[in-house]
A and B are shown apart, each in its own frame.
Chain A
C-alpha cells in the first residue's frame, strides 16, 4: 500500500513540475512576442509617420499635439510633390539609366562568368583572383580618378556618365560564375559535339538554369540606380539628367529645414513606393541576393 501511495505521490510531483514548466513556457512565449512586436512597431513607425504626414494639411501637421490619424486626407500633397520636385522627369531619367545599365551589365556579367566557369585559358585563376582582390578597395578611392576621367572624356551631364563606369561588378561575375560551375560540364561537351555555338548554349542552357541569380542581379542593379546618390550628384547635376534621389534631397529642403513637410513626405512616399512593390513581389530574390552580398545595390 505504501508503495502505491509513494507512486501516486511521485506522479503528483511530476505533474506539478510539468505544470510549472508549462507556465514557464507560456511566460517565455509572451515575453518573446512582446519583445518582437514592440521592436516591429519601432521598425515600422517611420513608415507610418511618413504615410500619415503625407496626407495631412500643413496646419494639422504643425499642431503641438499630433493627430495619430489625419482628420482630413489631403491627397493634393502628392500632386504638389510631383510638380514641385519635377518627379516625372527624374523618374524617366532614373528608369533610362536603370534599364540600360542593367541590360548591359547582365550581358557583360554573363559573358565573363561563362569564360571563367567553362573555358580554359592561360592565367585564368590569376586573373580571377585579381578581380576578387579589387572588391576589398572602397569605391571612394576610384571616384577621385573616375571623376577626372569622365571629365576629360567630356561625359559630364550625360546618361553615359551615369551608366558606363559601373557596368562591371566583380561581385556579380563571382556570383554567376559560382552558379555556372554547378551546371554539369557534360551538358557543354554534348552541346559541343552537336556543334552548338557557345552563344546558343549560353542562351538555351546556362541562362535558364541560372535564372534566379540573374533575377537577383537585375533587382539589385535596378535598386542601385533608384538609390544612387553620390556619383550622380558629382557628375550629373543638371536637371535634364538628374536622378530621383538627388532631386528629392534638393527640391524639398530649405536652409532652415522648415520645408512644407507633408508635401516632402508625399515625395518620399512616391519614391519609396516602387521599392515596396518590388519588395512585395520579388522578396525571395532580394533576400537571396542580399544574404550573399552584404551590399546595398
Chain B
C-alpha cells in the first residue's frame, strides 16, 4: 500500500469529509487556492473541488475566524478553522474558551459547537518565541473541548476524521516537524477514535507517557534502552484531553513506574496532571515517584544551539528512566 505524509493525510481526511458532508467547510488565513492552499499546504487542491465558500480565505482576524466557526456550528455546519500558528490563539481565546467550549453547557445542551480548530506549532525550526509554543495545557484546563495531536501520518488521517465527526470543539495540534513523516496510508474512511491512546511500544519496566513529536524521541530512546535491558512502554496519548486514563493507568499498574514527556514547558503542564492522577490511583503499585520532562521554562529562543538546548533532551529522557529503574 502507498505511503503518505502527514500533510497528505490531513488533506485527504478533510477532502473526504467535505465530499461526504456539504456542511463541512474550511476557513482561515491563506487557505484558498489563490493564496496557495495554506502556508503548510494542508488545504491544497480543495478550493478547486469545493469552491471559495467552502475554502474561505480570511483576513488576519483570529477572533473573527473562530467567532465565524462558532456561529456556523450553531447553525448546524461543521467548520474547520485554521489558526495558522498556535501562539495566535492568544488573539481569540475568548471565542474558544468562553464561547466554543461553553455553549453546549450554558445552553443546557441545546447548542453544541462542533468545530475543529487546526493549528500548527513546534520547536526546532527557528521560529523564536511567538511561533513555536505548545499550548495544549491552556485548552486541557477548559471543560467542554477535546485536545488532539497526532504523532504519525496514519493517526493524523484517522484523528482528523474523528475530529470532524465530533459534536464538540476539537483543538487539533499539528507539529511542523511532523508534516513530512510518512506512514502506510490507512485508506479512505479511516478513523482513530478520540480519547483513545495507543501503546506505541510495549514494555515492562516503565511507562513513558507522551504525545505528538516527542513520541519519536520516546521510541528512539526506548529502542536504545532495550539493548541495555531496560524495557520501556511508550504510550502515545493522541488525545491529550480528555485523555485515555484507562490505558495510562493499566500501563503504570503493570510497570510500576512512570515518566511523562512533552515539548511544552514543564511547570503546570499536562504531565503534572497525569503524574498527579497516577500517584492518586496507582499508589500501591508505584515503585518510585512519577517523573516529568518538559521544555525549559522560558520563551523559545531563536539561535539554533539555544533552541536545541531548550527542547527536552533525549539524554535527559535516558537519565530519568535510568534513575527511575535504579540503573543510573
Q: Check if A and B associate.
A: no
- B interface residues (Cβ-Cβ under 8 A, vs A): none
- A interface residues (Cβ-Cβ under 8 A, vs B): none
